[in-house]
A and B are shown apart, each in its own frame.
Chain A
Amino acid sequence: MTPSEFNSLRDMLNKESGLVLSEDKQYLVESRLGPVAKKLEYKDVATMVSEWHSSKKASLQNQIVEAMTINESFFFRDKTPFDNFKDYTLPNLIKSKATSKHIRIWSAAASTGQEAYSLAMVLNEHKHLLQGWRVEIIGTDLCSEALAKAKSGLYSQFEVQRGMPVTYLVKNFKQVGTMWQLDSNITSMVQFRQFNLMNSFTGLGKFDVIFCRNVLIYFNRETKSDILKRMEAQCNNGCHLVLGASETLVGLNGNYTPVANARGLYEHNREAAVKNEKQSTNFKESPTHKTGTGGLSFTR
């Protein structure tokens, strides 16, 4: 792949998906696009990128974007977020939503569905506490192929073993040949939709819990701030935001407060949001105000 092809690929990925690919990430291109090149019968990744570069064929471009943005996913990945969900978020919701009895959860980078289904399995364990409740889990992802797999609820032996306690396997899956099929009482709890985080969130509705793990790392600071800001608008009061183990909100503005003793868990602070929104309005009117990076500099 020539430097100009690589650069043009980076530009396109950034424009189409917000993905930031630094110069040292050429290996990532090789490893993620290898299977696509093979499937489409190109000699190698370089040949395929070269073909895309000269033709800009939409179908090829879509497959490249999808493959580059796919997330590695497994059941109960990192364990802690699901323990936090069970021990902290769920008891909280059962209290705070006692009147409406309606919980909405967003898995914002659903990929092949394991995160959303892990949450569904946890909720199913607690169904005695949720009699008469309506629980919606929405899984969104950019990649249609990943979502097709998510919808099928069919996983390989490798996939059902990574991170998932065997008791969950016994309770929630049936063996189909060499594969494992999630039971319909779990799959029916989750809806999957193809969705780009760069687009407006309004149509998704409001949420009580947002899992957005290991997605923001791919974006630059401004885009991260922008996504977090737009997510705030989809937050019900006290909405919990869950980030990946290696992610923080440090240096990013937004009205989320870390929850004590629950790594990666944040609570949306509506009062601060309203207050900051007012300040921001005042701030913007000030003639000395210079536009900062990102849309959230006013919270400082």
Chain B
Amino acid sequence: MKQCLIVDDSSVIRKVARRIMEEANFEITEAEDGQQALEACRSQMPDVILLDWNMPVMDGLEFLRELRKDPCGDIPKVIFCTTENDMDHITQAIAAGANEYIMKPFDKEIIISKLKEVGMVEA
């Protein structure tokens, strides 16, 4: 079973995302901010990360930059999942190593289509 780390400071969003990802047959771990997420990754690299941008302690972009510097930090597919919906944010995220980008609000179809895009579910 593939592992998914959901990183979001909102418990509601984590819950919604968890439900969608569980249906898609992923095993879920959760983190409330970038720092927690980094610790989770250092103990075990997930296959895919759904990543919020604006969070306390360490935001999503900073987390991603740190992650990609780590040995094996290039393994997880990272999908930003954020209310930041302008071209500047999107290009920054891609430059920092994001594989995909979801602009909130999202639904199951969008998440699944992005998972297909990064090769995490079969097309």
Contact = CB atoms under 8 A, between A and B. Distances in A.
9 contacts: A79-B116, A157-B85, A161-B102, A161-B103, A161-B113, A162-B113, A166-B90, A166-B117, A170-B90
B113 A163 contact: yes
Interface in B76-123: 85-87, 90-91, 94, 98, 100-103, 106-107, 109-110, 113-114, 116-117, 123
A170 to B, nearest CB: 6
A169 B102 contact: no
Interface residues of A, number: 15
What range describes how many residues of B lie at the interface?
A: 20 to 34
Nearest to A178: B85
Contacts of A170: 87, 90-91, 94
Nearest to A161: B110
A166 B101 contact: yes
A158 B109 CA distance: 10
Given A158-B107, A161-B114, A169-B90, 12 more contacts: A79-B116, A157-B85, A161-B106, A161-B113, A162-B110, A165-B117, A166-B117, A167-B94, A169-B101, A170-B90, A170-B91, A170-B94
Nearest to B117: A165
Interface of A: 78-80, 157-158, 161-163, 165-167, 169-170, 174-175
A80 B98 CA distance: 23
A179 B116 CA distance: 24
Nearest to A163: B113
Contacts of A174: 87
B7 to A, nearest CB: 18
Nearest to A83: B123
A80 B123 CA distance: 7
